[in-house]
Structure 1
Amino acid sequence: MNLEKILAISGKPGLYVLQVQTRTGFVAESLVDGKKITVNLKSNVSLLSEISIYTYDAEKPLSQIMQTIADKENNGPTISHKEDNATLIAYFKEILPDYDEERVYPSDIKKVLNWYNMLQLKGLIMESIIEETATENVDDVAAENPVLEIVTPVEKEEVIKE
């Protein structure tokens, strides 16, 4: 699941999409209401692609966890993050049975489920699954046909310029 440009900004509700980088920070658009905000470099910002959840063995990337939720829910919405803690913990154990219960708090589980539902509501869960499937298909074709070279649009432009 591609979460490269999705941001969580400390002190701001919801998720944001990185739009433009500026000299003093960047501009981000809210997934909730579509408003654009300016964020300076001093703000505590987390890319969802860089977030992982602790398990007893290692850390598991958030993208894999969200993919597991999407598979379980058939790309539909999941339970509300406003459910009681026991329900949230039981659901999360279905998704990630070996998560570290001492280091992953109910508030973390609420964030993950809330973020998933936000992304699903905006159609970003389905888009990322389609992108991931297309990438896997290209990799499969290249692996089956080692002589076949896959040329990206950038390489085509370079060839035309020469």
Structure 2
Amino acid sequence: METILSIAGKPGLYKLVSRGKMNLIVEAIDATHRRQPAFATDKVTSLGDIAMYTTGDDVPLWQVLDNVAKKEGCKEASINYKKVSGKELRAYFKEVLPDFDEDRVHDSDIKKLLQWYNILVTNGYSDFKATLAPEEAESSEENKEQETEAAK
């Protein structure tokens, strides 16, 4: 599992490369592959920690991106999210995630999701589950070890 990050105030997405004492070293997911530090003062969010609001349980971001990929055939989004009206944007998103919470999911959230989708697909990321989903096998093994230690 790679750690794909979003950094508030900086455009695009980043891949975690290394950790320093006071910062993270990240690499831009684009043609430049520019590396730069992300400091503790930066608001850094892992895409694996993001979910979309629905009328039921929240849906992890990787599942939503996977739904977009199925709709688009793993190509860039067919809709120009920068220029379409809010109504058209929501109609498109309803095809991707039919039960999204229309009160809590804003147009800007949908635009950001489509922007991230295009960045990831353009740069060769298409298996969103493998890339973004938390690995359950590791966490369950760690839990078993902790339970064993606690029992001693």
Do they fold alike, i.e. is TM over 0.5? yes
Aligned residue pairs total 128
Question: Structure 2 counterpart of 1:62, which letter?
Answer: L
Q: CA deviation at 1:129?
A: 5.9
- Alpha-carbon distance in structure 2 between the residues aligned to 1:110 and 1:90: 13
- Where has structure 1 moved over 4 Å in runs of 4 or more? 129-132
Identical amino acids, percent of aligned pairs: 38
Q: Higher relative contact order by CA 8 Å / sep ≥ 6: 1 or 2?
A: 2
- Alpha-carbon distance in structure 2 between the residues aligned to 1:37 and 1:58: 36
Computing the radius of gyration from Cα coordinates, the structure with the larger value is 1
Give SS of 1:119's match. Answer: helix
TM-score of the superposition, structure 2-length normalised? 0.79
- Alpha-carbon distance in structure 2 between the residues aligned to 1:122 and 1:82: 20
Q: CA deviation at 1:31?
A: 1.3
Residue number in structure 2 paired with 1:57: 56
Structure 2, unpaired ranges of 5+: 132-152
Distance 1:59 1:69, change over 3 A: same
RMSD value, Cα: 1.7
> Which residue of the other structure, out of 10, 13, 16, is the alignment partner of 1:18?
16
TM-score of the superposition, structure 1-length normalised? 0.74
Distance 1:129 1:18, change over 3 A: closer
* CA deviation profile, 1:31-59 (whole Å, cap 9, x unmatched): 13311110112210110011000001111
